[in-house]
Structure 1
Amino acid sequence: MNLQPGEDQTMIAETFAKFLQEHSSTLRVRAALPSGFDPELWAGLAELGAFAMRIPADNGGLGLGLIDVTLLMEEAGRRLASGPIAEAIVAARLLALLGGGEANALAQQIAAGSRIATIALHDAGTQPAQWVAGGAVADAVIAREGDRVLLVRPSPEGRSTGPNLASAPLARIALDGNERTLIGSGPDAVALFEAAVEEWKLLTAAALAGLAREAIQMAAGYASERKAFGQLIGTYQAISHPLADLIVDADGGKYMVWKTICDIAEGKPGADAHVSLALWWLARTASKAAERALHTYGGYGLTLEYDIHLYVVRARGIPLMLGDSDQLLWEAGRRLYGDEHPALPEVGTPCVDFDLGEKARALAGEVDAFFRANLTPELKARAHYSYAGHDAGIHRKLAEARLLFPAWPPEHGGRSADPYAVAAIAAVWEEHEWSAHAASTSNMVGFIMQRFGSDELKAEALARVAAGEAVCSLGFSEPGSGSDVFAAVTRATPDGNGWRIDGQKMFTSGAEIADYVLLLARTDFDAPKHKGLTMFIVPLNAKGVEIQPVHTFQDEQTNITYYDAVHIPDSYRLGEVGGGLRVMAASLELEHGFSFVKTQAHLLREAERFCRETERNGQSMIADPAVARRLARVAAHIAIGHVISCRAMWTAVEKRPNLAYGPAAKMFSSEKFVADSGDLLDLAAPESLAASDGAAAFINQCYRHAQATTIYGGTSEVHRSMIAERQLGLPRTRA
């Protein structure tokens, strides 16, 4: 996996960023109004080779890949560049590929900046008059009419212009009433035109990603300076949390564009649907981001003196050239579940890579083989999304095969597997519907013991966990503190050569079968809140421990655990006395990086199965375009969640600055899991109401399971605060 573009791509991005910062400042953008076109900017972009980037090298262009051009488009969106840049790039390539004297000559003129061409996005046979992006300044428009591709040269009488929402150079062109030249016909020409439209969607999506991010950062900067009621408005969660949501949405969209391009290069099925979903997502995100940014500015955002309104109108104006952006969801549904499959552009060799790698696939294959050999029908019937699905025999066998904790070093029974392999293995557990609760929590606690535990603790407790003979649970939350784990009042006091534990913990899931609990206790009540804490491993079979079950509507048991004069040796202490913050931070870092994307993908597969097997109104549900649209929306959320999780993994592996990327993955996936499981519960009703077998029952279970995902491991609100502070530099939103 590699999410860092290469040196050449970095140079491209930096070159255009520097140029556009100077030549597309908001002063220049305003000066270009109302036409929305800046001739000097256009000439400069041509000189830098912008319009030749996608012309094949054999045709005199630069022959660059599509991701290279998205880097330019992100900067163009960020700087509100004035002119039909994406349209001209796409038109120049299409002309070069179609060939012919006139087409080739015009392609070279576009590259040089001496002529401007654009593309009509809809079939002129059914829409002979269309609104065309850049049509107000274009010398030529490429249009498709049935199986023919035409070059239209608009006359002043054949185009109409006027004020528009975004002050863009658009015009309504009479594609059947101007000078027209046939430049291609037949299936090959139509395929090239279709591919050009799909390329336009991806470039437009990239521009919207850049626009969205810039609007959010402008709002964050303002919120870090503007005061209300005596403090910076960025300290108010009503301001910071929506911005945190949107920066994750914008970045997710950016990486989805990259991932879609990679999928096209590899010929993966569904790539055409993801083109539609990427533009749908970023059209929606950019508009929300700009509007939320304006709201952050308050009344000042409405005034023409402030620049943020420019982002609001541009965010709306760019994608609406295609029409209602919601139609992209219908389009994605037809591509995922119907027979609509347009030609896709040749994208070049991507400079980024989302692949988990051969080692990850090999280890995942080994786990898959293990489950196929060992999971009997009787065992699978007991599987459950909780500790209730734990089977001690399978747990031990996995440990014996060194597959239970593959990321652990060999001396502790692991394979030293990297996060990519761990992610691939997690997908296999999900495919086999086998509960990972006991394994995942024991994995986390075991890592903490390896890092902070004494030799005696490692020999006694860690060795049992590594052998699959013991499982662990977490003792963080308390009845009076919830997510504020550092407000713990469970007491640990020196007692001979060890410690006495007194207090209680809430939500100690798995304690009914666990052997150990990772417990945070207060060792100094006079020290500041975060400094008087120490972490311990407590055997749950120790005298004075009481476990009281608490049942949830997820059909899952959690527990209250009571500790009354529980004695443990000092060797079961983790880290220094009073050093609980450091140990806790390490454990939360592991927990915060968790994502629910694999479970969401399983949910979607079951929903698709239900819709294929269920008839409504005399036809299979999957054939209903409205149903396909709803399933496509879930697919979009899964795709975004996946790339956000990839960023968190890649950042960890490459040891790059981690700006709360783990919390971003967990927060996004859990919030979408709740929303999508609820929507699919509705879609599958009334069958989904019954706790029976089959796909509808799984949807029912996911709906109940999803409710907790925004809570445990830190609530979404806590994670939003972390994202706001670390990614956007907003002031601290927590006391």
Structure 2
Amino acid sequence: MDFTFTDDERRFDTEVVAFLDSERDHPDAAVVFAPQREADAQLASTPEHKEFMRRLADKGWLGMSWPEEFGGDGHEGLYEYILNERLSQRGAPLIGKGVGMIGKTLIRHADEQLQKRFLPEIRTASIDFALGYSEPDSGSDLASLKLRATRVEGGWALNGQKRFSTSAHFAEWYWVAARTDPDAPKHKGITLFLIDMADPGLTVLEQKTMGDERTNEVFFDDVVVPDENVVGEVNSGWTYICEALDYERFTIYTVGALESKMARIMEWATTTERRGRRMSEDPQVRAGIVALATDLEVARMLTLRVIDEAARGGVPSNEASMCKLTLTRLHQKMADWMLEHLGPSGVLTHEDPDAIDDGFWEHSYRFTVLETIGGGSSEIQKNILSRRALGLPG
């Protein structure tokens, strides 16, 4: 498997870097680029972020790997990988759920009217989506969800609750899994819906997290969804959800953010002195950095294996689980290692004027716990790999 970039891929990488360098002079740069605060990155949650995404769209960089008949230009997924990695290195919002998850799922499974309705708006960064999967009693065991969709004339009435819908307070559309056949086996009676977030039957309440990220509880009170907003076939939603989650596991989780953290660790080690010598001269520190750098290279190779599988037209299931598990665990390992070596001053928050690196590692320590849960917890990834990759009993 050859992961050497072609001349055109290197040209595109250079173009992306130059564009992001120029964006540093934009009036919105202080909001758009947030490498200090992980909870502020990834999502287009502010007007400034949304305008930045529209500028990416104007460059033609959203949906590059989509087939031409759906507005893409047929680029291999490696181009989106390059773009996402460069964005994550700068702390900018990623190409996100619309392009990487929902768009690709609509292309594979939705009818023509949904494709024509949503795909152009995704490519122009005109809309954003919230994911409606988890519920109070259905998190890791997503197939046990209870949000009920009852048949009514011309559509479905939804009643119940979702939890941990991170983008629900700013997204325009809701990508929701609901139970349409309560008598079917739990994996068979689920359907995917697209719901306008302006529906008066939706109530969005803020949930605070330990990583300073806002997520939401969403309550459904007779939310009527027309038949034309059903994604694919009724009662086949579980298949689509699993594919979308596989796309999420490599669309949202990137190596670039880890590379930026590695650069911070190296800067700390080469500029910090204790007992008359730099930390980079300490054998134990050097050994720890080498171990983290080795893990980072493994994470990079796993990410490229995901891109390779997607480029072949497949859904990178096992590859995506290995990638997501490895990347999120490495985020935690880096934060743990740094706090261990920073000592008591490392736990000062960014509000404290004496905080090291503006409290970056204290915040990272809290936020990286959330990454091991979103998109399927680490335990779920291990279960997937034990069954699909190793053939162990479920």
TM (norm. structure 2) is: 0.88
Task: Mark the CA change 1:461 to 1:563 in structure 2 (over 3 Å): closer, same or farther.
Answer: farther
Amino acid across the alignment from 2:3:
F
Task: Choose the corresponding residue for 2:368, options 696, 701, 706.
Answer: 706
When the two structures are aligned, how many residues end up with a matched partner?
Answer: 379
Work out which of the residue numbers 176, 183, 201 in structure 2 matches 1:544: 201
Matches within 5 A, 1:163-562: 353-376=2-25, 379-382=28-31, 383=34, 384-385=40-41, 387=43, 390=46, 391-436=49-94, 439-443=95-99, 444-562=101-219
- The answer to whether residue 231 in structure 2 is matched with residue 582 in structure 1 is no
Q: What is the CA-CA distance between 1:408 and the residue it aligns to?
A: 2.6
1:607 alignment partner in structure 2: 265
Closer, same or farther in 2 for the Cα pair 1:649/1:388, shift >3 Å? closer
Report the CA distance shift for 1:364/1:379 in structure 2 as closer, same or farther (over 3 A). Answer: same
Secondary structure of the structure 1 residue equivalent to 2:193: strand
The answer for the alignment partner of 1:563 in structure 2 is 220
Q: Residues 177 and 193 of structure 2 are in contact (CA less than 8 Å); yes or no, is this contact kept in structure 1?
A: yes
Instruction: Give me the whole-angstrom Cα distance separating, in 2, the residues matched to 1:705 and 1:405.
Output: 29
AA of the residue aligned to 2:7 = E
**Is the contact between residue 45 and residue 170 of structure 2 (CA under 8 Å) also seen in structure 1?**
no
1:725 maps to 2:367: no
SS at match of 1:535: strand
How big is the shift at 1:399? Answer: 1.3
Counterpart check, 1:651 vs 2:314: no
Deviation for aligned residue 1:541: 0.9
Query: CA contact under 8 A between 1:677 and 1:702: conserved in structure 2?
Result: yes
Q: Which residue identity does 2:380 align to in structure 1? A: V
- 1:434 is displaced (CA, Å) by 0.7
2:136, 2:162 within 8 Å by CA — same for their partners in 1?
yes
Q: CA offset at residue 626 of structure 1? A: 2.4
The separation in 2 between residues aligned to 1:617 and 1:378, in whole angstroms, is: 44
| Cα 1:695–1:356 shift into 2, 3 Å | farther
Q: State how far apart, in whole Å, the 1-side matches of 2:305 and 2:44 are.
A: 32
Matched, 1:642 2:300: yes
1:361·1:421 contact (CA, 8 Å) conserved in 2?
Answer: no
Residue identity opposite 2:282 in structure 1? D
Alignment partners' CA distance in 2, 1:522 and 1:659: 24
Tell me if the contact between 1:508 and 1:560 (Cα under 8 Å) persists in the aligned partners: yes
Greater RCO (CA < 8 Å, at least 6 residues apart): 2
1:685 aligns with 2:343: yes
Q: Give the direction of change, closer, same or farther, for the CA distance of 1:699–1:406 in structure 2 (3 Å limit).
A: farther
Mapped to 2, the partners of 1:354 and 1:695 lie a distance apart of: 34
Which letter does structure 2 place at the counterpart of 1:549? Answer: E
Separation of aligned partners in 1, 2:312 and 2:203: 44
Q: 1:9-49, CA deviations, whole angstroms, 9 ceiling, x for partnerless residues?
A: xxxxxxxxxxxxxxxxxxxxxxxxxxxxxxxxxxxxxxxxx
* C-alpha distance in structure 2 between counterparts of 1:659 and 1:452, whole Å: 17
Cα 1:651–1:491 change in 2 (3 A) is: same
Shift, 1:728, TM fit:
2.0
Deviates more, 1:593-602 or 1:508-517: 593-602
Give SS of 1:660's match. helix
Q: Which residue of 2 aligns with 1:623?
A: 281
CA contact (8 A) 2:345 2:356 kept: no
Whole-Å Cα distance in 2 between the matches of residues 470 and 651 of structure 1?
A: 28
Mean alpha-carbon deviation: is it higher for 552-561 or for 595-604? 595-604
Equivalent residue in structure 2 for 1:675, among 329, 333, 354: 333
* Separation of aligned partners in 1, 2:89 and 2:379: 30
Instruction: Give the conservation status (yes or no) of the 8 Å contact 1:357–1:420.
Output: no
Structure 1 residues 532 and 497 mapped into 2: Cα distance closer, same or farther (>3 Å)? Answer: same
Q: What SS does the corresponding residue of 2:28 show, helix, strand or coil?
A: helix
C-alpha offsets along residues 286-325 of structure 1, whole Å, 9 cap, x if unaligned?
xxxxxxxxxxxxxxxxxxxxxxxxxxxxxxxxxxxxxxxx
Which is higher, the Rg of structure 1 or of structure 2? 1
> Equivalents in 2 of 1:509, 1:577: separation in Å?
26
Seen in structure 2, the aligned counterparts of structure 1 residues 539 and 389 have a Cα distance that, compared at 3 Å, is closer
Cα distance change of structure 1 residues 606 and 452 upon mapping to structure 2, 3 Å threshold? same
User: 1:498–1:569: 8 Å Cα contact kept in structure 2?
Assistant: yes
- How far, CA to CA, are the matches of 1:606 and 1:451 in structure 2? 40
CA distance in 2, matches of 1:587, 1:440: 12
Q: Note the alpha carbon deviations across 1:644-663, whole angstroms, 9 max, x for none.
A: 22223223334579671221
Amino acid at match of 2:190: L
Amino acid paired to 1:703? Y
Q: CA deviation at 1:605?
A: 0.6
Alpha-carbon separation, structure 1, partners of 2:315 and 2:179:
31
8 Å Cα contact 1:622/1:628 also seen in 2: yes
Per the TM alignment, residue 440 of structure 1 is displaced from its structure 2 partner at its CA by 1.1
Alpha-carbon separation, structure 1, partners of 2:81 and 2:170: 26
Alpha-carbon displacement from aligned partner over 1:474-503 (angstroms, at most 9, x marks no partner):
111111110211111111122222222211
Letter in 2 for 1:514: A
* Deviation sequence 1:575-610 (CA, Å, 0-9, x none): 111111221122122123454432222111111112
Give the whole-Å Cα distance in 2 for the aligned partners of 1:689 and 1:378.
32
Deviation at 1:684, TM superposition (A): 2.6
Offset of residue 687 of structure 1: 4.0
Q: Please give the secondary structure, in 1, of the residue aligned with 2:287.
A: helix
Please tell me the root mean square deviation across aligned C-alpha atoms, in Å.
2.3
- How far has the Cα of 1:671 moved from its partner? 1.8
What is the TM-score normalised by the length of structure 1? 0.49
C-alpha distance after superposition, 1:616-662 (max 9, x if no partner): 22333223232222211110110122222222322333457967122
Structure 1 gaps of 5+ residues are: 4-352
Name the aligned partner's letter for residue 434 of structure 1. A
Residue 37 of structure 2 is matched in structure 1 by none
- The one-letter code sitting in structure 2 at the alignment partner of 1:725 is R
Q: C-alpha displacement at 1:412, in angstroms?
A: 4.5
- Verify the 8 A CA contact 1:408 1:417 in the aligned structure 2: yes
- 2:300 alignment partner, SS class: helix
1:65-122 Cα deviation digits (max 9, x unpaired)? xxxxxxxxxxxxxxxxxxxxxxxxxxxxxxxxxxxxxxxxxxxxxxxxxxxxxxxxxx
Whole-angstrom CA distance in 2 between matches of 1:617 and 1:610: 15
CA-to-aligned-CA distance 1:314-366 (integer Å, 9 cap, x gap): xxxxxxxxxxxxxxxxxxxxxxxxxxxxxxxxxxxxxxx23243333233333
